[in-house]
Amino acid sequence: MELHESPAAGAIREAWEEARARLHIDQLLAVYSIPRLSQIQLIFRAELLSADVAAGPETAELALFAWEDVPWTEIAFPSVHWALGHFHEVRGQSTFAPRTNPPGQFGDMAEG
């Protein structure tokens, strides 16, 4: 997040910078703790307002996939797997409690 930026505004800005994607934020999906990276990740459920997306200057490759075509083995970060799973879990629900790291998962490194 930038100075004086809300988490939702930061997510909207990052989506634009990384994927030239325009979003409407629905609600907070998850809060993940990744101690090995000293990160707390806030993941939002959002609506993509247009399929007109493109790789931003810091993005090497970008594609949209139907759920059944997600290339699971090519996803680099555990938190992306978690977020996609949590998104699928709450699909169709209008309200839900934000999710957290799956049991026993600490960002690909055991706590300690």
Strand partners of residue 44: 28
The answer to whether residue 74 is domain-embedded is yes
pLDDT of residue 111: 43
The answer to whether residue 25 is domain-embedded is yes
Return the closest-CA partner of residue 1 out of 28, 30, 40: 40
pLDDT of residue 70: 96
Task: Give the number of domains in the chain.
Answer: 1
CATH classification of the domain holding 21: 3.90.79.10
B/e letters for 38-67, b = 16+ CB within 10 Å, e = fewer, are eeebebbbbeeeeeebeeeeeeeeeeeeee
The answer to whether residue 109 is domain-embedded is no
How far is 68 from 29, CA to CA, in rounded Å?
21
Can you give the pTM of this predicted structure?
0.86
Strand partners of residue 45: 27
pLDDT of residue 103: 86
Q: What token pair was written down for 89?
A: 């879990």
pLDDT one digit per residue (tens) for the chain, 112 residues: 899 999 999 999 999 999 999 999 999 999 999 998 899 999 999 999 999 999 999 899 999 999 999 999 999 899 999 999 999 999 999 999 999 999 887 655 444 4
pLDDT of residue 22: 97
pLDDT of residue 105: 75
pLDDT of residue 107: 57
How far is 41 from 79, CA to CA, in rounded Å?
8
The answer to whether residue 108 is domain-embedded is no
DSSP 44: E
